[in-house]
Amino acid sequence: MKKIVDERLTFLNLQHIKITYIVQTLGVLLILGHDFLEGGLEKMKANLLWVVFILSSVVYSYLSLSISVEHEKEIKRPFRSFLLSLFVLLVIGSITAYLTSVTSGFNWSDGVLFGGIIL
């Protein structure tokens, strides 16, 4: 007899697992938050749920490393978005430099320095 595998049921099962993981993580965070409010950071770290929370976060991060985006077909041009980001940062830095230079107690060199730091 052949076992019937339905992708929709598998996907639904994965959604249920995801919801369960979210509820579990929220429960752990609420318990740790209660311990933090009651006894501070030391009491929160002394609880074994802290270890469970850190361990589950590390495992989730490790498992997320294998997820790739190879199925994307659209090739994006990073140079265009880089130029747009650079332009926006230049505008913000220039505005900051101008506003700093017109502020009393500062001169144009302070404005250029602060705008360059922001940039």
- What are the pLDDT digits (tens) for 94-103? 998 888 888 8
Please count the other Cβ atoms lying within 10 Å of the Cβ belonging to residue 61. 9
- Tell me what pLDDT residue 12 has: 79
Global pTM value: 0.46
- What are the pLDDT digits (tens) for 21-39? 888 889 888 998 998 898 8
Q: Supply 41's token pair.
A: 């950071």
- The beta-carbon contacts of 109-118 under 8 Å, at least 24 apart in sequence, are 118/92, 118/93
- What are the pLDDT digits (tens) for 3-15? 667 777 778 788 8
- Tell me what pLDDT residue 110 has: 85
- Tell me what pLDDT residue 4 has: 62
Q: Give the separation between CA 61 and CA 3, rounded to whole angstroms.
A: 33
Q: Write the DSSP assignment of 76-87 as a string of letters.
A: P-HHHHHHHHHH
3-state SS assignment for residue 2: coil
Mean pLDDT value across residues 73-85: 77
pLDDT, averaged across the chain = 82
Q: Give the separation between CA 2 and CA 61, rounded to whole angstroms.
A: 36
